[in-house]
Amino acid sequence: MMISIVRTYFEGEMEFPKGDSSKITGYHAHIYYDKESRETASRLRQAIWSKFDVRMGRFRDRPVGPHPQPMFQVEISPEIFPEIIPWLMYNREGLTVLIHPEAEDAYNDHAHFPLWMGKKLRLRLNWLQAGNRVA
């Protein structure tokens, strides 16, 4: 007997893709903010920067790529993933955080394999389809 896992996702049903965790080279954390919470995001960014050995992206004060609102990105190595993720759980100060693997398929990494802390946002996934670059 063959079982097919189907999950409702945004519009309609689709086969849920399988991933290969051995292809993960790192992770991105996207920390979202708005005009009112930018100062909170700035404090969080500084705290991450001072506590962890990460590569920090700049503030993106407008939506960019698949991200529907302002954010900054943190590149996380697999080595510090077990330390930084629990820290973010307790220190995100109410901000929404998207964490996704960096593997071979940016679309699936964002659409099917992410972790969310806080409110799950609707990403502009069409931006990640063929011919578009990843932000």
Q: What is the mean pLDDT of the chain?
A: 88
CA separation for the pair 87, 62 (Å, rounded): 26
Mean pLDDT along residues 1-21:
57
Indicate the pTM of the whole model.
0.83
Nearest Cα neighbor of 3 from 11, 12, 13, 15 is 15
pLDDT at 132 over 70: no
How distant, in Å, are the alpha carbons of 8, 39, 50, 83, 131 from that of 100?
Answer: 20, 24, 22, 16, 20
Residue-range domains of the chain with CATH: 24-128 (3.30.70.1240)
pLDDT at 125 over 80: yes
